[in-house]
Structure 1
Amino acid sequence: MSHDLEAETPDEHADNLVDEKEGGFQGWLAVLGGWCCLFVSFGWITCIGLFQEYYETHQLSNYSHSEVAWIPATETFMMFIGASVGGKIFDSYGPRPLLLGGTLLHVVGLVCVSFSRTYAALFLSQSVCSAMGSAAIMWAGNNAVGTWFKRRRALALGIVSSGSSVGALIGTAVIPTLFRSIGFAWTMRSVAITYLILMIVANLTVTSKVVHKPTRLDMSEFIQPLADPAVFWLAVASFLFFAGVFLPYNFLVIQSRYIGMSQRMAEYTVSILSATSIFGRIVPGWLGDRYGRFNIMILTTFLSVALVLGLWIPAENNLLNILFAAFFGASSGTFVAMVPALVAQVCPDIKKIGVYTGVTYMVICPAVLASQPLAGALISANDGDYTYLQVFCGLAMFVGGIFFVVARAAHGGAGWRKI
């Protein structure tokens, strides 16, 4: 079986701007910068479970699970809705304005969080200002790297997205320790300084291969890609999948405390999840380039479903919860690298990658916004037990997996060939 992707996928003429010498020195520099971008953006978002637990026991102890969950839910929503605006800016002007503006908003937002004491202040600084900045940073890095690669795009994006795993691993391991040693305010300021340094590197290294030309804003651009059945069903599948996949990231710490795990051990579950997701970012990307990106996405989606329904629900002791964290991190980590790679695969013109990515994530973001407060409400409805949340998580991803199969068929037809 040949491993030449262009010979086996139906979009063989799509990325004509990427030649056989894809990548090169500048391309791999962009991967380095993109890695930094994902470290400070999606790596930060992956730490949200720590803040759900911390706010419930400190600044926002008088608020319910669902009310507190609106802060990380909106933060994640802003990350994804930013793909539509950021995609249009990227297609017109390239990554530079997104990187500069995103750096300013993200760093200033985190500094403002350090001074926040009320719900409104935390919401505006963390869920709006910082989140807008991290969204601009993430989509600048992802879209720029996508222009440099075709045959090894999933691998390149997998390496880039591993930055989010490392960022989450370090964040979930270090931030709780800093909370206890230097306090909340100085922890947030330390994070802001670290991110500023990494973004200086990103601003110097992230470039795009294509020539960007400013174009008039046309709202039809955000509708037209959905006329393609492959894009439409990919967006639907991602909507359902994302409705479930973030719930363990957000609620695993407090769910671990619920079953009797110590505070520090519960915090380590997210670190374990983040550590194994490094594997889940890179290896499935490499496999996707060889055996089909849709194929690997479908496989890892159903594996994640099996782990939630078969391991997380019956996990009533420390060992099972730790095993779930380790395996779920490896299986679910695929989505950060693979969904952008799938969007690029179904996009007919790499010059429009920003808009196509934006349209897909514009469909996804309502699921991200609603699922976490809904999960908090499910906990309250079940008298503090997490079973309803866990069932919802597994079923949402399961239905999403079915629609990934539909999207695969719409893009490349039936059969077991590499797609």
Structure 2
Amino acid sequence: MQYEELGLHQYIARPLSQSGYLEPWPALIHLMERYRERRDALFDAQYLHARVAAYVSMAYQSLLEHTDKKALILVPIHELENLVHHEAGVIGRYLEYRCGIAGRSEVTRAPERYQLLVGVPRTVRSMMERGQIDPASLTCLVVDETHRMLLDDNLYEVLDLLRPHRSERLTYFFSSALSLEMRNLVWKYADHPEEVRPRPSSSILSGVEERVYHLAGHRKLKALEALLRRFPAHDTIVFTGGDEVSQQVAGALLIGGIKNYCVTGDMPRHRGFLLGEPLGASGRVVVVTSESTSRNLHVPAFSMVVNYQMPVSGDSYLYRIRFLEEGAGPLCVSLVSEADAYDYLETELDMERHFPSFPLDELLDGSLRARERRQRGGSGRKRERRRRPPRGRRAEGAQGKGGERRVKREEIVSSRPPLRGKSLEERVAYYQRKYGERF
């Protein structure tokens, strides 16, 4: 499919091609189809790769068709706000429209000079209250990462101000979690929205070599290091289960001499777009948290995907496969421990197929096994150690300080009066004889 088939203007298609988007990608195709139908939609953004460029292109196309209108994009954080502004500058380089960030001085002084506005709900609400943004002048509204703004009261205030004109514009919500609360929000502020849940096709598995290694959880990190050393020329992306695990894995690999990037959910978003250059001759290793963190990575295709933690479904597994490049030798390796047993079985049942398992011996070389034995104490011959007597005791007949003979406990016990088993009267008579009548 070409950009002309989607009806995209040539001044938008040209910078997209120059930026590396040689043909339409799924996020743009889904979005432009709903745009042509003039229908609002809720998109499951978890599997929409490079959606920022998609909705910025759609916003410019809407401005070209409605010259007296404006477009508004709402984002949850300032890092994503700056990212959208940068993408708008790249895609709109041949257009006369200007993109501004809501709340900045140049935008608040002359809001009429900007046709595309992007901002967080708080600054957009303040501009709407001052009359600098007219709700009736919007031709499209995009709310990105809506699931992160469900507890933001400013979002609801902005949507309340825009609600009377919802039938006059197009409204698109992007969310990675389609909960009941999310659906209620979309149905309240959009005009009969359609729920779009794109799923990757299983045809992307063709030509991909899959490997599964079953191992103990404490050996995962060593196996990952051995895997990266075995394929040093492969550009690798590693999927872990959380931010802490990502940082631990990235730090351990760095200590082992393997350079890598660590992309977590709390890092500035613009850093995720600076991964274009490989790290020397050893290739590129990217450690990410999950699918939701990696969906904005604008990087070339990888030649190896490592599932440090198994995905929870077949869709997530196929999404990770999409990062592999086409051609000979793409490799997907899964490290399955006892903690991943349930997710592994769930993924197999969801995909209705069995993953090929390989013995761990071919992955771990002899040097790594020798190092593991040394860390456990080794398997060679051990020196015999003399057995010392317990502390506080000496051999029989030993002398204490100053050459004095130490009295044995048996001698002390034998010198005690033999009163064990005696009655009270016998004990009183004994002490009377020893100490007198008034003892």
What's the TM-score bracket when you normalise by the shorter of the two chains?
under 0.3
**Bigger relative contact order, structure 1 or 2, given CA contacts below 8 A and separation 6+?**
1
Task: Report which of the two structures shows the higher radius of gyration computed on alpha carbons.
Answer: 2
Decide which structure has greater helix share: 1
What is the TM-score when the length of structure 1 is the normalising length?
0.22
Task: Give the strand-richer structure, 1 or 2.
Answer: 2
